Each structure stands twice: as C-alpha cells, then as structure tokens.
Amino acid sequence: MIPVTKPHLPEIGRYISYIERCYENNQLTNNGPLAQELKARLEEYLGVQNLLLVANGTLALQIAYKVLGVSGKAITTPFTFVATSSSLRWEGIEPVYADIDAQSLDLCPEKVLEAIDPEVTALVPVHVYGNPCDVEAFDRIAKNHDLKVIYDAAHAFGVRLNGKSILLWGDAATLSFHATKVFHTVEGGAIVFKRKEDYERACRLINFGYEEGEVVDEGINAKMSEFHAAMGLCMLDEIDTVLQQREGVYYRYYEALKDHFEMPVWKEGATRNYAYFPVLFPSEGALLNALQRLNEAGIFPRRYFYPSLDTLGSGRSDRGSPISRDRARRVLCLPMYPALPLGVQDRIVSIMTSYLESQIKETLEWSVPHGFRQDSK
C-alpha cells in the first residue's frame, strides 16, 4: 500500500544516543535539557525568537488564543484541516468562515473585510500546503480594525518570504510537529510569539500556570517531553537531507503533471518545503474516477481538504464560500514523502495522465456528429 504520506524515521542509532541522554539526565519532561536544546536549535534554524515547544499543534493554537485574549469571533478559512476551527470552538470562540483566493487557495483578504463585525477579535489565516498567505494585507487589516492575527503555519515549517521566516508575521504563528509533517517530534508543536511578554505568559500556561513554584495563572499541561524532543533533535540533524529528497519527488511530479492539471499559485518571493503535492481536477467526478483507479493499484492519495468546513456543523456560513467548496471537491494530494520509490511515482503519474487522456478522447468522440464518426457504418 502506498499512503499519501509516511513519517521519516531518522537513523535509529542517532535516536538511541539522544535517548541515552534522557536516562543519564533522569529528567523526562518539564523543560528538560533536550527540550531546551531543541528550542535553541529551532530558533537558529528558523530565524525566529520566542519559540515555545508544546505537546501538539492543536494545543499550540489554543494556547495562542488564550495568551492573546481572543474572544467572541475569529475569521478563518474553510479550506483547512478541521483542527483550525475546532480549536477555536474549544476555547469558546466562534469561527467565521471567509472564502479563499481562487489561485493560492489561501484565505482571501477581500472576503475577510466583508466578514468583519464588532464581535470579531482575531484573524486565523492558514498557510495552506505551506503556501504563504497575503501577510501584508492581513497586517493592514489587523491594524485598521484592532485585531489579533494568529497564523496556523502547521504546513509551513522552514518556509521563508523575501528571505525571512514566514513565522515572523502576526502576533503568533503555530507549528505542528505531528509525525506526518516535514519536521516532526512524533507528536508535538510550537508557537512563535512576536512579543516576549506573550511568550513568557505562555510558558506559564503550558505548565498549569506555575511560576517559581506558585500558581499565578490559569494554565494547562501542554509541555513537550524529553523523548519527543529527542526525535526532534534527530530530525533537525537530518532535515536538509529530508528536504532535498522531498524536493526531488516534488519536481518529478511537477514536470510530469504541469501540463495536465491546475495547481495552486505560489506566493511570489516564497520558498517551498515540499510538504504536499496538490492537483485540481476539472470536476469532482473526474477526481473520483481517477481516485478509484489509483486505489485499485494500491495507491491512496487524500482529499486535502474535503469537505469545505463552511458546510459542516455550527460553523456553517450563511454567505457560503463557493470557491472553497469548489476547490475542496476537486483537489487531490498525491503521495509525498522522501522514501517514495521512483517506480511508484512513475506509476502514479501514468494512471493520472492516462485517465485524463482517456477522458479527453471520450469527450472529443462524443462531440463529433454521429454520422461522421470513423466507427459508424
């Protein structure tokens, strides 16, 4: 079976060497030496400050909302993983969906402006597939309307815009270090804060609100353990190789499929981390038929992100998000991981392109008047 993604496992001897340090230190959690080392190395690698390690990417969002005082409503995208909106609801914040840009598939600034009302206190844009949002526009909107901005950067590890980390934008940016991500700690996440005072309060909140042995704030347990930090240190040791391998897989797809499928338009001046390879089919029916053929061959892409969240539950929007709904029906993410065999990738491309060619041929045949078909007698 070929899944849509597969976790990268670092060299086991390297991981054991870090685990041995856990045994030597006899400190397994509570901001131990490995977690401190990982924080420092990530800040250097990413080019950021005020980075806080947490237990997972969803808690990263929830802690950021709490620290920044988000309440009432927050505007976000319906074209994302459900945790973006469910994390808001868990904090008693109502998600308000604004439609996406048709080209980038990121949250559309013009639609955000239409959705602002007096109860909105924050924007929660997502760098979908690692493709940076229009951060300049959201910065202007936030300043003009006195809103906080929390970027869900779960897909955007290492992405830079005009030479600087995309994590430097907004009041906070959150990362997921789940096993399926480009960089992972098995389970984990991080928050990058603009202001040091926000970072310091978050440090208390993830440790039950403790500071110097006393409870001074209403906190929770969201700490990263030393064993998870050990995996992160291993991954960071190998991250350049991982990214290089992912780049090779990405561009083999791109060269083979660029003339056959629509793809998201990347933000000018932004780098890529090759986290996903999404393609857009001409229709949902075409997608479902191609997906069936791939599944029959033991290949299992995923419909990231389907359905559009504005069609679900209490967050359903009266305005609707027609672009998000359309793209959600037509987008498919192909298997994308460093160890993807070249022969398997060629097989995926062959199934995708042969299916489209057969569809085009069938359409052309039916467009010719019956009396003029070559096979008519």
Q: What is the mean pLDDT of residues 282-292?
A: 95
pLDDT exceeds 60 at position 316: no
- Domain 238-361, classified CATH 3.30.930.10, yes or no: no
- Can you give the pLDDT at residue 320? 83
Delimit the CATH 3.90.1150.10 region(s) of the chain: 238-361
The proportion of the chain whose per-residue pLDDT surpasses 70, expressed as a percent, equals 93
Looking at 154-168, 183-197, 322-336, 360-374, which range is the least confident one? 360-374
Separation between Cα atoms, residue 287 and residue 355, nearest integer Å: 10
Fold of 12-234: Aspartate Aminotransferase; domain 2 (3.40.640)
Separation between Cα atoms, residue 252 and residue 254, nearest integer Å: 5
Q: What is the mean pLDDT of residues 46-67?
A: 98
pLDDT exceeds 80 at position 177: yes
pLDDT in tens, 88-127: 999 999 999 999 999 999 999 999 999 999 999 999 999 9
Give the count of beta carbons closer than 10 Å to the beta carbon of residue 213: 6
Q: What is the mean pLDDT of residues 21-33?
A: 97
Q: Per-residue confidence at 314, pLDDT binned at 50, 70, 90?
A: low
Across the chain, what does the average pLDDT equal?
A: 94
* DSSP string over 134-161: -HHHHHHHHHHHT-EEEEE-TT-TT-EE
Q: Decide: 310 and 324 in contact? Cβ < 8 Å.
A: yes
Separation between Cα atoms, residue 100 and residue 317, nearest integer Å: 14
- Can you give the pLDDT at residue 370? 46
Q: What is the mean pLDDT of residues 302-331?
A: 87
pLDDT in tens, 217-236: 999 999 999 999 999 999 99
Q: Per-residue confidence at 319, pLDDT binned at 50, 70, 90?
A: low
Delimit the CATH 3.40.640.10 region(s) of the chain: 12-234
Give the count of beta carbons closer than 10 Å to the beta carbon of residue 309: 27
